[in-house]
Amino acid sequence: MFEKHPHLEKTVRFLEEIGISVVAKNLEEETFLPGLALGPGTVYVDYEKLKYPGDMLHEAGHLAVTTSAERNRAGTTQMAADWPTQGEEIATMLWSFAAAKHLDLPIEFVFHPDGYKNNSDWLISNFNGENYIGLPLLEWAGLAFGKERALKEGKEAFPVMAKWLRD
């Protein structure tokens, strides 16, 4: 399975290391992103149906930027119907960018041309230009520091993450 997608093994190892389980599962029903579904603290992957392996970082980002209580309800009937919120969606995109940078993966691995409602190029351009749309949300959640705050606190600024999972 890893031979089919060159960056997949590195991605799975990273997610497991930060506390997000990756479980191979035959997904019978059609999913929003081909071959991927979320469960409590888990990304389920149907490797036969997985079309864009970088989407795994995006889906994991949803789990990462939500509270630990909500993370444990993901994929269940207990999860809020409006999850993820638009703010969480924006934070997830930025989290995915940071993860790709951290793993030294091409940004296009996550922001592929067939994703993000045809806005991948726009997102890549903004993020590579350090226009980090949504960074205040990551700061508020305690996951990252903007340049100004990082300088004041002697920390590394985004795209370096202070931590990968929200409390």
Domain membership of residue 96 as a residue range: 6-132
Q: Does 166 map to a domain?
A: no
Q: Does 167 map to a domain?
A: no
Comparison of pLDDT for 75 and 6, the residue scoring more: 75
In which band, very low, low, confident or very high, does the pLDDT at 2 lie, cut at 50, 70 and 90? low
Domain count of the chain? 1
Q: Does 48 map to a domain?
A: yes
Distance separating alpha carbons of residues 108 and 144, to the nearest angstrom: 22
With a CB cutoff of 8 Å and minimum separation 6, the contacts of 149 are: 139, 155
Q: What pTM did the predictor assign?
A: 0.94
In which band, very low, low, confident or very high, does the pLDDT at 6 lie, cut at 50, 70 and 90? confident
